[in-house]
Amino acid sequence: MVKRLHAIFDGNIFLPKEQVDIQPNTEWIIMISDEKIEVSVEKKPHPLEVVSQLSTDMGPADLSENFDHYSGRYLRNSDE
């Protein structure tokens, strides 16, 4: 398992800058780097952003409330 964290060295110990999810008193191998590593991460759009880009303006502001009227579908009343 690989965990990455930022830490400050106070001269004796490394102090993590964020919460660490590691069991106490376990042994780890630590690799140290003093250089800023640039990681290129391709940002993918959130799925809802993709859906919103596909949406189109249907005209009426109350389309969701009166869908049956605008689509030509009418629900029958239970007394009919």
pLDDT by residue, tens only, the chain of 80 residues: 777 788 888 999 888 888 888 888 988 888 887 767 666 677 888 888 888 888 777 677 777 777 777 777 766 665 65
| Amino acid identity, position 48 | L
Contact 8, 14 (CB under 8 A): yes
Query: How many angstroms from the chain centroid is the CA of residue 54?
Result: 20
Domain ranges for the chain: 1-32
The 3-class secondary structure across the chain, one letter per residue, is CCCCCCEEECCCCEEECCCCCCCCCCCCCCCCCCCCCCCCCCCCCCHHHHHHHHCCCCCCCCCCCCHHHHHCCCCCCCCC
